[in-house]
Amino acid sequence: MDTVKRPDKRAERSRRTREKVIQAARELFVTQGYGATSLQEVADRAGVAVQTVYFVFGNKRTLFKDVVDTSIAGDTEPVAVMDREWFRAACAEPTAAGQLRAHVRGTSEILARVAPIMPMIASAGAADPQIAAQWPDGPDPRYTVQHAAAQALAGKPGARPDVSVAMAADLLFCLLSPQLYLLFVQDRGWSPDRWEEWAYATLAAQICTGPATSTGPAASPL
């Protein structure tokens, strides 16, 4: 007789608890700062015992890392950006312009999540110099992602042959940075859609042959 696999209720409860704690920590870190937030406050906001927070995360630094990592990923699943469906689908686009459009769109969704926590990241690093040790030494993970995208783009129809992979990676890394996104969207009041259109058109002019043709939402004045 076939055995029906039942959902693991304990694993589901653990996942939901983890999500609640991360969400509570994100809200508190953003509003009152990393240094000023205690794990007891996080537990109270999440509606769990503080011992649960310690059991799941160990300490505040680890919890902070999970807040940042899940903001980038968009969920708590342990899946790297380059293994995400949106990134793989973008790299599978048959033309350079198609890949660039999908890549900019996917990156803009990440930036919309990450931009609000940039001040929190800066203040946390100032309050706790050991925060940086939560991430392994080596190349900037964001550059690694952009370099992989540049490699996938190279040689596709519509890619400029005189632009090397290294140059394309540098352009993607710099123009799709959270700092530049914040300058336009937060400081200058651009809408995310307008920024996305600008980023795509600017990158297409540098990386692709021919004019940049918009296939996404029309740019709005704000």
Q: What is the pLDDT of residues 5-63, one digit of tens each?
A: 555 777 788 888 999 999 999 999 888 888 889 999 999 999 999 999 999 999 998 89
Same-domain status, 106 and 189: yes
| Domain ranges, residue 27 | 11-78
Count up the domains in the chain and report the number: 2
In the predicted structure, residue 218 carries a pLDDT above the cut 50: no
Same-domain status, 93 and 186: yes
Domain boundary among 52, 78, 104: 78
pLDDT of residue 184: 95
Q: Could you tell me which of 112, 118, 120 has the C-alpha nearest to residue 176?
A: 112
Average pLDDT over residues 67-95: 87
Same-domain status, 165 and 203: yes
Same-domain status, 58 and 159: no
Does 198 map to a domain?
A: yes
pLDDT of residue 204: 96
C-alpha–C-alpha distance, residues 128 and 35, integer Å: 8
C-alpha–C-alpha distance, residues 200 and 214, integer Å: 8
Same-domain status, 35 and 91: no
pLDDT in tens, 158-179: 999 999 999 999 999 999 998 8
Contacts of 58 (CB under 8 A, 6+ apart): none
Same-domain status, 70 and 172: no
Q: Hey, how many other C-beta atoms are within 10 angstroms of the C-beta on 124?
A: 23
Same-domain status, 35 and 129: no
Does 219 map to a domain?
A: no
